Homo-oligomer: A and B are copies of this chain.
Amino acid sequence: MHCEASASLINRMKVIKTIEQMQFFSQHGKKLGKTIGLVPTMGYLHSGHISLIKRARKDTGIVVVSIYVNPTQFGPGEDYKRYPRDLERDRELAKAAGTDVLFVPSNKEIYPDGYSTYIMVEELSEKLCGISRPIHFRGVTTIVAKLFNIVKPTRTYFGWKDAQQLIIIKKMVSDLNIDVKVIGLPTVREKDGLAVSSRNKYLTKKEREIAPVLYQALVQVKRMVNSGESNSAKVLKEVKNLIKAKKIKIDYLKAVNLMSLKDVKKLKKKTLIAVAAWIGKTRLIDNMLIK
Contact = CB atoms under 8 A, between A and B. Distances in A.
Contacts of A23: 177, 179
Given A145-B176, A177-B19, A117 B171 contact: yes
A175 B116 contact: yes
Interface in A35-83: none
Nearest to A120: B118
A146 interface: yes
Interface stretch (A121-129, A224-232, A283-291): A121-129
A119 B172 CA distance: 10
Contacts of A87: none
Nearest to A125: B116
Identical copies of this chain, number: 2
Contacts of A145: 176
Contacts of A172: 117
A119 B122 contact: no
Interface string A96-127: 00000000000000000001111111111000
A150 interface: yes
Contact of A177 (B27, B122, B124, B150): B150
Interface in A141-200: 141-142, 145-146, 149-150, 152, 171-172, 175-179
Interface of A: 19, 23, 27, 115-124, 141-142, 145-146, 149-150, 152, 171-172, 175-179
